[in-house]
Structure 1
Amino acid sequence: MEDNLDIRQINQNDPDFPKSLKEIPSSPESIYIRGNFSSPEKAIAIVGTRKSSPEGEKVAGTMAFELAKRGMVIVSGLAFGIDSAAHQGALEAGGTTWAVLGGGIDKVYPTSNKNLADKIIQGSGCLISEYPPGTESLAYQFILRNRLISGISQAVVVIEAPQKSGALATARFAFKQKRKVMAVPGSCSSFRFAGSNQLIREGAILVRNAADVLEELGEKKDAQEKIKLVDLNENQKKIFEIVKEKEGLDVDNIGQLTKLSPQEVGAQLMELVMKEIIEETGTGKYIISQKLKV
């Protein structure tokens, strides 16, 4: 065991013990924490294969980024692949992410993810384990660990899971724990999505992005708008706010209200239309995209 680690043990009778974990079958008697922890109102697990594709990692990272921007805690297992991408996405958003380990809190596995674990702790997140410090990570413990990933979360999102992925065990636990189970679909000819697609057949909710997840959690209002606005530049934000306040403006009207040149307004409007944030009516006037009003 490493020296000078700030490890905290929380027992079930401690007020800080997550209520969500108390409710699940085979609830742990206690959990060990390294980092910043408080029982969350909103936590979402994002899990998937260790042997992920660049596309799968992009989906996981983007989803985690956007959900973290919305104040969601991103929960995963610190494994290679989808887990790591989810943790990284939350960190890049300046959000909170928790890594649930399959061994002692001082035994980061895989060891090559120690830097990622340190970033989680140094930020607003933490490492969590039900195993005492010094416990080595054994294969069967990772399956048991998965019940904590789902148990501490409102919902589990599975991204890119083959037929025998450990992420499917997390989804099965989530079903039993009465948590929402969501899955991102993939090609029926790709082995990488065989497990994900099967979950959807078994009742998992099909989701494509963070906006879909938020909608399923009852947070549809403003969700798409806030997610889409994350990557806008300052001029685009000015134009969006003006059009939102008074729809049906043309380029000259928008320029007068934003103090931007007609050329700049035209260029930024083109970007906003491509991003499906603003629509052109066909008469040279602009309105908020119908997709943000759904």
Structure 2
Amino acid sequence: MFLVDSHCHLDGLDYQDLHRDIDDVLAKAEARDVKFMLAVATTLPGYRAMTDLIGSRPQVAFSCGVHPLNIDDGYDFEELRRLAADPRVVAMGETGLDYFYQKESEQLKLQQDSFRHHIRVGRELNKPVIVHTRDARQDTLDILREEQAGDCGGVLHCFTEDKAAAEVLLDLGFYISFSGIVTFRNAEQLREAARYVPLDRLLIETDSPYLAPVPHRGKENQPAYVRDVAEYLAVLKGVSLETLAAATTANFSRLFHIENSLLS
């Protein structure tokens, strides 16, 4: 069996007390059939530090982008494009909109401009966008449409919206990724959406070190725990774990243009 963690922050794990090094994290994941992962950046300096930390490993691909809550000081759009052109980078992001903490119109405009720029670079480089949204559903969907994000494709990561939002995203050609939140006791609306999303548009992730799934809730998350998300979703959708693993791995390969030889 082959599982993929489609969204994790390997540079954010606890290498002091929980893990010896990157190889230790990868070995723990491999022991639970999690054999590939996408390491996601949230700032440009963070992207450079993350790639230095991880180096070239066949089990890890990279994204390059600036999280919407990390753009207060701005960043060099041309540097984003240059870094994202690296062949090791398979996606733009994570990008998107987050209105939970920021309410001022100038802050929201900065987020929207950055989101649009990520999509435009993604279309230019033919690299899909990894989208974060919080308290910004309509603006997120509007910008995806206006910028023709379907041309490069993408995924709404750590999905926390409802079935109606999932339907719109699917119509845009997007994939939808579920994290450990789907296992939480109060997440019935999310489970309804997960039942609705077809297997051929589904991804799984940890978003580690955040949002550890049941039964690890309260601990630091790690890529190995994507198996718990997969097991939960398999039961929810009435399929075998092997079927869900095969489908989500194939979806990951298709969306991010990863060669099948790396995912088998």
TM > 0.5: no
Rg bigger for which structure? 1
TM-score (norm 1): 0.30
TM-score of the pair, normalised by structure 2: 0.33
Give the helix-richer structure, 1 or 2.
Answer: 2
